[in-house]
Amino acid sequence: MARFRLTLEYDGTDFAGFQLQPDARSVQGELERAIAEITREQRRVVPAGRTDAGVHARGQVAHFDSDTRLSPGELQRALNAVLPRDVAVLALAEAPPEFDARRDALAKRYVYRILNRPEPSPLRARTHLHLRAALDLAAMREGARALVGKHDFSAFRGAPGGVLEDENPERSIDRLELAAGGDELALEACGRSFLRYMVRNIAGTLIEVGQGKRAAGEVAEILASRDRARAGPTAPAHGLCLEEVRYSPS
């Protein structure tokens, strides 16, 4: 029995999320179906993190076990040959038997992308949130600075009823930066783990700052309140992408 580590890219538009679901299409379901077709084995795929419906990935990491005699390169090519067009295995290698894609992850890097111009972009409609009016980037950066570090992020977690009440809301954001280039704005969030919808709730709040609907100084007040009702709306899923999962060098 060997353990394999995969790096995955997928367009989340037509998926109900990464996690296997009985009555909906999922990334995990497509991967496990492909593995079964190639290896004739029913294997569980374990991801570094579960992306929600509509969220994309350029660098999702996962692992699974197999008795296949195929080399990693042969297995990667075979999986890509049978996987649908919206998911691909970018890298596949044999990993130590104790490797765990979820538990061993040291950090995740997400980017929320905004197309900020009057005209829509058909080519970026699935991967960027389109906002017509110009955003105040300086104000958004000022608001973002209040969220860096270790905090109770209850104000930016999923809505009541959608999260486990006993889940620890403390998280650490190592980096939260906004970059502008051309007609695009990107919010990059890096940390070991995030609450469900946390990055999208932060994005929705900072967008309101950029639109002048709230002052940059309010972000610190919202964080301190631990009240989800005080933060902005959850930004649409299609703007978010899991870019990278980091591990200790082997």
Helices 198-210 and 218-225 meet at what angle, rounded to 10? Answer: 150
Q: Quote the CA–CA distance of 170 and 154 in Å, as a whole number.
A: 8
- DSSP assignment of 83-150 equals S-TTEEEEEEEEE-TT--TTTT--EEEEEEEEEESSS--GGGTTTSEEE-SPP-HHHHHHHHHTT-EE
Residue 227 designated active-site: no
**How far is residue 8 CA from its own chain's centroid?**
12
Of 133, 156, 4, 139, nearest to 67 by C-alpha is 4
Handedness of CA 185, 191, 197, 198 (dihedral sign): negative
Query: Which residues are within 8 A (CB) of 168 and not within 5 positions of it... i.e. 6 or more apart?
Result: none
- ∠ at Cα 230 (225, 234), nearest 5°? 120
Measured distance CA(113)–CA(129) in Å, rounded: 6
Element (H, E) at 201: helix 198-210
Quote the tokens at residue 99: 């490797």
Catalytic residue selected from 14, 52, 67, 152: 52
Q: What amino acid positions are annotated as catalytic residues?
A: 52
